[in-house]
Structure 1
């Protein structure tokens, strides 16, 4: 158990003294949780194996699950990789800084601890003032998975980090709520066809503005626990609330009808039921209902999804009945996270 310092900063104008102190912690091998535009990250020196060990230990994270390195400028990229593929240049020009992680051939500076033993390394440039300033101040690439206990919903507020990691890390920087709410898209550009390893804040539709074809990795389409993960979020159960969870997909009216049917069944069994609704349907339910966002603006669902899962934990429900969404745009990332959270229990109605 260590003493965790919790500090608040202005998201747009962070206190430089605080960021300098956090940078020193990173350089000395300590861990700092910090906000990005996607979720909060748990940062350590990406060139220090002992810092990587601390990240795995704090999260309880399997060591074959690769870590993403975070940089703040293009100059910081080149020492970490063997070369920049032509496709990468187009992507970085359009989407960096932003919620896109690219897979490169790693340089000799990067150890197996970071990559899970792979010959490639995942790198992104976050679009957040606090994250950018911290990386610059640290003067090293920051390895930063989501700042939560492994398998739990990712943190979108500092209080979520405090719940999971207080007493396990050196500092938590509270920069308010994150904007996107789901992690970055991870894109493998090593083959002929760019392949999404993890859907996220940059959508398939966004990527199709650059390429004539973009594929999804098979691990997104079907479960396979025997794969060697090339990206975080591919192999293990993630984002899970403490309660059992069922996700329903289909026509909205059919989803509402089935959720109400299941709610009554579980209440008859003496269970405490939570319903994850959308703003279009919230009035069609009663009981412990949490509205996660609008079907007409799925970015609101992405922003609030992980918070809603944690809120259900706080009100101690036994089972969560959740509305699924279509997979257009960021809907693919939302359904990917929901599928992981419910352990694959999705019912088409």
Structure 2
């Protein structure tokens, strides 16, 4: 028996015993529990420090299981599932009555997706049911993209961490709400709003801040995906000026750039450069944010990416990572 086979066997046994498992997917690593077991799902919330009314996404082995979890499934949902499952797309649908409130946050909707990672598929197929699996990190912090990240973040709270290598997509799935008629994208991801519009041949709306009827969904709070170190998202001139000011004041900073070459001063600051394309940038983003968060810097500076549609998902994550930080200039050197 190979090491992976043993890990899958142990993971299935742990899940059936109501324990938590680190689940590799193509997006990020999930903290998985039997979605039909409210006591097991409660362990997810306890391990993450997650608010109990914040819904979870249920991961399935196949689109054939859709009707076990959702009712009143519109044609648009089946079209999107056929086009993008397995893959990084979550569908919000009216739930079946027997779906536990612990999974849905007490709402009448449930988030469902079929992950594309072969190890995730093997585990789901062997388990035979749905797995509730939010990102395997403390609530609001940087999502994990390796098995080591899960172990560092959650330690003994996880019975088994199945190592599926580094995540290929690197950021969370797109979430689209199909529970209210017209599809509405609640969270951008690898599957873009234009991708969905092309499949449906019909509009897919973006969320309206004034829409109070939208279901709560994972990863849509103002502050999320955040390092412990304060973050500032800056254009190139402001970033470079702040780097220079930090060097003059002796402040240790971390820099995540896209176009600038290494200009880190000699005061122990750390400069990391991400790929120039959105897919490559997303794949590396969380891992490099973790590296910077652990480098002893007092401030992290991120070069703002372009605002074109293909960068929407990356910009969404960066905006949330930089939210609720100290006011402009507070504790920072002035450029």
Give the TM-score of the pair, scaled to structure 2.
0.90
Among 305, 308, 318, the alignment partner of 1:325 is: 305
Distance 1:236 1:113 in 2: 23
Shift in Å, 1:192: 3.6
Quick check: 1:212 aligned with 2:222?
A: no
Shift in Å, 1:27: 1.4
SS at 2:157 equivalent: coil
Shift in Å, 1:212: 2.9
Among 58, 76, 97, the alignment partner of 1:108 is: 97
The answer (yes or no) to whether the contact 1:229–1:235 under 8 Å persists in 2 is no
Distance 2:41 2:319 in 1: 28
Distance 2:18 2:310 in 1: 36
SS at 1:163 equivalent: helix
Aligned to 1:272: 252
Shift in Å, 1:218: 2.9
Shift in Å, 1:51: 0.8
The answer (yes or no) to whether the contact 2:262–2:271 under 8 Å persists in 1 is no
Report which stretch shifted further, 79-88 or 38-47. Answer: 79-88
**Pair 1:148–1:102, CA change in 2 (3 A):** same
Aligned to 1:259: 239
Aligned to 1:288: 270
Aligned to 1:12: none
The answer (yes or no) to whether the contact 1:200–1:330 under 8 Å persists in 2 is no
1:282-339 deviation line (CA, Å, top 9, x unaligned): 2455552111221xx2111101111111001121111111111124344111111111
Aligned to 1:4: none
SS at 1:166 equivalent: helix
Aligned to 1:237: 223
**Pair 1:178–1:329, CA change in 2 (3 A):** farther
SS at 1:72 equivalent: coil
Distance 2:175 2:83 in 1: 15
Aligned to 1:164: 153
1:334-345 to structure 2, matched below 5 A, reads 334-343=314-323
1:1-349 to structure 2, matched below 5 A, reads 15-210=4-199, 211-219=201-209, 230-235=216-221, 237-248=223-234, 255-278=235-258, 280-283=259-262, 286=265, 287-294=269-276, 297-343=277-323
Aligned to 2:333: none
Distance 2:227 2:7 in 1: 33
SS at 2:13 equivalent: helix
Distance 2:147 2:197 in 1: 34
Aligned residue pair count: 322
Shift in Å, 1:267: 3.5
Shift in Å, 1:179: 0.3
The answer (yes or no) to whether the contact 1:241–1:310 under 8 Å persists in 2 is yes
- The gaps in structure 1 that reach 5 residues or longer are 1-7, 10-14, 249-254
**Pair 1:227–1:242, CA change in 2 (3 A):** farther
- The gaps in structure 2 that reach 5 residues or longer are 329-335
Shift in Å, 1:31: 0.5
Distance 1:228 1:340 in 2: 19
Give the TM-score of the pair, scaled to structure 1.
0.86
Shift in Å, 1:152: 1.1
Distance 1:192 1:228 in 2: 12
Distance 1:207 1:184 in 2: 13
